[in-house]
Amino acid sequence: MNQHKLNVPITILAITAITFMAGGGVPDRDEFTTEFRMKKRGMFVPTSDNPYFTLRPGKFLRLEGDDDGEFVRVDITFTDELRPILFHDGNRLLFAMTRVVEEREWIDGELVEISRNYFAACQKTSDVFYFGEEVDIYENGQIVSHDGAWLAGENGAEPGLIMPGTPLNGAKYYQEIAVDVALDRAEHVGDDLTVTVPLNTYKNCIKVVETTPLEPGSESIKFYAPEIGLIHDDGIELVEARKTAVPSSLLEQPDTPLNSVYSHIIFVLRMLLQGG
């Protein structure tokens, strides 16, 4: 194993990569990378020291604002729930233990969506990957669809990169890789920014522009602040950030004996799944 290549930040790969991907919805030639060399990355864990996308259980963010004349509120809760996910990288079956992050969205006071999103971080690089989401779309208090739901390892879907461990301007990568369902992609266009939102003024922020080939011409502009995460998403901005109480877990403490056992269990499981 080449350790130097393994530890190269994914952002450097993303700037230069030209990716070829078959299937409807993704261009045959696309400057946004989909190749993240997952099988060379070691463990994917539900904790992260990535300052722009921490996975601390109990973190709560509320964003509010006007979007085309509608008042939108989004609550984001980093739960203490974990979900194991099996997925493929080529012919290799891999394993990730993901953090469940719940998002609830209201428009003009009416609940319109609840999603449960699955994230895990690469221990070696602090890149945070997106492994899928469950989606409930609501109308008049009733679930009417699950549009946009996807899961890595099912129907050809693969993990995407949600936040590089070392953000670099010019990086371009897919955040979701589920053909004809979810194909969000991101480009880093600004860093070291000072951004003011209703809750506070934050320094050292980064700016990300999101697009998707499923909706040509559409884009979303996001700003992330260190140790907070998302603070601005188009017309909605951060108005509340707090840490809620969650049950203590030794698994959140990387140096404990229990976490070492947990790591070895995952390692053995991966070896069995990979026939190694």
pLDDT tens-digit profile, the chain (276 residues): 333 333 334 443 443 343 334 344 454 457 999 989 998 888 999 999 999 999 999 999 999 999 889 999 999 999 999 999 999 888 889 999 999 999 999 999 999 999 999 999 999 999 999 999 999 999 999 999 999 999 999 999 999 999 999 999 999 999 999 999 999 999 999 999 999 999 999 999 999 999 999 999 999 999 999 999 999 999 899 999 998 776 544 344 443 344 444 554 555 565 555 554
> Rounded to an integer, what distance in angstroms lies between the CA atom of residue 26 and that of residue 60?
34
CA 28 to chain centre: 24
Which of 215, 218, 202, 121 has its CA nearest to residue 162?
121
DSSP 260: H
pTM exceeds 0.85, yes or no: no
**So what's the pLDDT on residue 246?**
62
Sequence spans of domains, the chain: 3-273
Q: For residue 153, give both structure tokens.
A: 């390892």
> Rounded to an integer, what distance in angstroms lies between the CA atom of residue 97 and that of residue 41?
14
> Rounded to an integer, what distance in angstroms lies between the CA atom of residue 118 and that of residue 44?
12
One-letter amino acid at 176 equals E
Interacting residues of 45 by C-beta distance below 8 A, sequence separation 6+: 97, 120, 121, 123
